[in-house]
Amino acid sequence: MMARHVSALWAGVSVALAAAAVLLLARYAPVQTDLLALLPPTERSAAAERAVAAMRDAAGNRAVFLIGDAQAPSARRAAARFAAELRRSGAFASVQFEVPDIDPQRLTAPHREFRFGLLTDADRAALVDGSFEPEQWLLRRLNDPFRTPLGGGVAQDPFGFFGNFIASLPYRQLRLDLEDGLLVARADAKGARGIHVLVSAELAGSAYDDRVQRSSLAAVAAAEAAVRAVAPQAEVLRAGAVFFAEAARASAERDVELIGAGSLIGIVLLMLGVFRSVRPLALGLLTVVTGLAAAVSATVLVHGELHLLTLVFGASLIGEAIDYSIQYFSAYAGAGSQWDPRRGLAAVRPGLTLALATSALGYGALMLMPFPAVRQIALFALAGLVAAYLSVILLLPYLLRRAYGRDIAPIAVPTARLIEWWSARIGPKPAAAIVAAVVALCVPGWLALHADDDVRALSSRPAALLEQEARIRSLTGVELATRFFVVEAGTPEAVLQAEERLAARLRPLVDKGELAHYQAVSSFVPSAARQEENRLLLRKSLQLDGNGLAQAFQQVGLRSTAAGDLAAAYRESEGRILTPQAWAASPAAAPYRHLWLGSTADGHASVVVPAGAAANNALEALAAGIPGVTFVDKAASVSRLFGQYRAGLSYGLGVALLLVLGVLAWRYGLRGGAAVLLPAVLGMAAALALAGYGGSAVTLFNVMALLLVLGVGVNYSIFLIEGRARAGTTGIAVALSAATTMLSFGLLAFSGTPALAGFGATLLAGIVIAVLGAPLSLSLAPRSLRQCPAASSTP
């Protein structure tokens, strides 16, 4: 018999899938915790995407600590202990604590031999507009008691041009000081004795690798304990992607455990309570396990990994996957001693197939979204439901042959009476009145709705970690670049020239105070064209060719050879141009090296980081009109993307409604189809209204939940209509299905991830209304559908 082979084959496939899923999860542990990895590319150019990734990597593989104490010696001692403990643990690739004394000469070394091409904007302006008077400048330079010899002695840098250039470099934005060989930050530059000592560590792997997370966090905890032993008052501040990633993973793991355990326990209790037999429970769980195994295997095979969000969602899928077997068991229990597996299957199959079809439409719509996170969840659900469905119709008839030994009548008969009473009393008119009342109750809620597309909904970022990160930023002056300009051009020189055009537009914003400052490679390395220009300006203004300089030097008493030496040094440096590559390779470039992205597929690229409160559209406007310059704000792009998807999915929801209505109309006629669809629509309407009443914003994830309310909620009406010949057991099955779904998705509402919690809450509300409203479809459907096809003698 054909069916037998197919069943045997499916049994084999199921075992293989289960083995594959266990193997994939245990051996490769491909669980992804990086939330942004789930998002599609948001930027227009590939270089911008690469820039985003490069900036994230630069920040992502480090952990930064500040160890602070009100007493400086105590802070130093604590930091030394902390660093020693981190090193001893071996959890980090490297730990940086002591810093070799930096000779300011070394800081200026990459620039020194190019100094005749390097000028600040103010000095350039003075040279251009002629306000530069050599003797006056020389005297000011000589008599300024507060000048530090950054640019070299008077003979090398008589007018202070090079010193001014060095002083203008963005190093000064760092509020870290080198003190006694340690990098130290002070909350208060003056007075206070308390200090924070910087310790930084390089991770032994990716911040999103859970093994790296575990070992790093354990090492940090041990080091913190050690610090408390030597300096009980000391505080340890931390920042780094690894801490957020670990918090997100821990939160998601708690979710998976809570939802998984909660729905399993709930299902076990409900199944045992209703069927009072172990066999339906065991077989029901078998279909769930095959479903989950297929879901895991399919997702890992297609996506190469399993995201934490998918796992959390997957845990809640248990409640939906068991619905098919519940329908089957209701037929089984209803048949009592008359059980014939083949006839039983024939009775439930149309309803199950239709239910799978509507769910598949819902998830299928999600699969079409260009959004890896959503596609992965949809694939997971689709594979899981199809496998659970196949297990029910292919395996259960063979595994459930012996007749039901107990009597379901004690609960089936009252349920049947309730449904009969409803069908008899609540006709189309009262039903329409109920619908109108529900809609009227919903209206104020709808009016209070507002949308929110903030990307932060995707992650749970603990307030304590955020606060520590903010304090580290304000103490050290190290900015976290979340928005920046990407500058792309064919050659490094063209990149620098584009940067200079951008910088000329950024400077007025800095002067107006809308920006605190900006970081750009061109601040360190002017374009070759500008360096040439500067050299010519200097040559002209200093009269290097004549003896004007010698005269000025003589006036102030500078040694007689100085002018000649300077002119010789100028001539000697002819043709020397500082290149961004050479700068990036120098040790002094370390804090800003990430700004230079280097060669890309289309040429060369760099990043310019503005710091300050200027509005995004103001910055975007600055980039406009300069070829190759793009403004990037990843968080804003993602939020915009969320907004687009939310709008798109809302239309998709409309289309899905029509499709489902079409499928239902094909089987029940237009009026019947509409009646079957109505409870699900009411559920969606009520879920939206509840969000409005509760003051929570509508996000992309709420709309996704509505799509599932449609796909799952319509099942209950289908089961009721299809199973009207055995109204009692069908009613019980529908209630049981709804209970398991509500349990699993309802638990999702308690997720620590805001997006999932919103998703769960909407689903819970929608499903509750859909199942409570399911009898309305009995009332509103045409007479032919309301009456039983054959007078039911069985309950």
How far apart CA 159 and CA 139 sit, in angstroms, is 9
Q: Which is nearer to other proteins, 214 or 559 (CB)?
A: 559
Using CB atoms within 10 A of its CB, is residue 65 exposed (0-12), middle (13-18) or buried (19+)? buried
Q: How far is the CB of 160 from other proteins (least distance, A)?
A: 11
Q: How far is the CB of 558 from other proteins (least distance, A)?
A: 6
Helices 308-335, 372-390: crossing angle, 10 deg rounding: 20
Instruction: Establish how many alpha carbons lie within 13 A of residue 13's alpha carbon, considering only the half-sphere containing its beta carbon.
Output: 19
Q: How far is the CB of 213 from other proteins (least distance, A)?
A: 35
Beta carbons of 310 and 381 less than 8 angstroms apart:
no
Q: Which is nearer to other proteins, 140 or 450 (CB)?
A: 140
Residues 6+ apart with CB under 8 A from 444: 689, 692, 693
Q: CA end-to-end span of the chain, whole Å?
A: 33
Q: How far is the CB of 472 from other proteins (least distance, A)?
A: 16
Q: Which is nearer to other proteins, 37 or 102 (CB)?
A: 102
CA distances from 541 to 123, 549, 577 (A): 11, 9, 20
How far apart CA 77 and CA 82 sit, in angstroms, is 9
Q: How far is the CB of 173 from other proteins (least distance, A)?
A: 6
Beta carbons of 396 and 402 less than 8 angstroms apart:
no
Burial annotation 681-705 (CB, 10 A radius, 16+ → b, else e): bbbbbbbbbbbbeeebbbbbbbbbb
Q: Which is nearer to other proteins, 88 or 559 (CB)?
A: 559
Q: How far is the CB of 117 from other proteins (least distance, A)?
A: 21
Q: Which is nearer to other proteins, 38 or 79 (CB)?
A: 79
Q: Which is nearer to other proteins, 129 or 574 (CB)?
A: 129
How far does CA 363 lie from the centroid of its chain?
A: 22
Short-list 795, 729, 747, CA closest to 274: 729
- Bridge partners (DSSP) listed for residue 203: 92
Q: Which is nearer to other proteins, 553 or 719 (CB)?
A: 553
Beta carbons of 55 and 594 less than 8 angstroms apart:
yes
Q: Which is nearer to other proteins, 139 or 647 (CB)?
A: 139
How far does CA 71 lie from the centroid of its chain?
A: 40
Q: How far is the CB of 250 from other proteins (least distance, A)?
A: 37
Q: Which is nearer to other proteins, 475 or 664 (CB)?
A: 475
Short-list 392, 380, 382, 395, CA closest to 348: 392
Beta carbons of 262 and 745 less than 8 angstroms apart:
no
Residues that bind other proteins (CB under 8 A): 72, 101-105, 122, 131, 136, 139-140, 142-150, 153-155, 167, 171-173, 175, 177-181, 184, 186, 189-191, 193, 195, 477, 517, 556-560, 562
DSSP string, 642-689: HHHHHHHHHHHHHHHHHHHHHHHHHHHHHHHHHHHHHHHHHHHHHHHH
| Torsion (CA) 728, 732, 734, 736 in degrees, nearest 10 | -170
Q: Which is nearer to other proteins, 98 or 467 (CB)?
A: 98
Q: How far is the CB of 266 from other proteins (least distance, A)?
A: 58
How far apart CA 729 and CA 731 sit, in angstroms, is 5
Q: How far is the CB of 116 from other proteins (least distance, A)?
A: 18
Q: Which is nearer to other proteins, 99 or 665 (CB)?
A: 99
Using CB atoms within 10 A of its CB, is residue 4 exposed (0-12), middle (13-18) or buried (19+)? exposed
Q: How far is the CB of 170 from other proteins (least distance, A)?
A: 9
Query: Three-state DSSP class for 93?
Result: strand
Beta carbons of 595 and 521 less than 8 angstroms apart:
yes
Q: How far is the CB of 521 from other proteins (least distance, A)?
A: 19
Q: Which is nearer to other proteins, 446 or 570 (CB)?
A: 570
Q: How far is the CB of 155 from other proteins (least distance, A)?
A: 4
Query: Three-state DSSP class for 631?
Result: strand
Q: Which is nearer to other proteins, 406 or 507 (CB)?
A: 507
Q: How far is the CB of 103 from other proteins (least distance, A)?
A: 5
How far apart CA 718 and CA 743 sit, in angstroms, is 21
* Both tokens assigned to 57: 């990597």
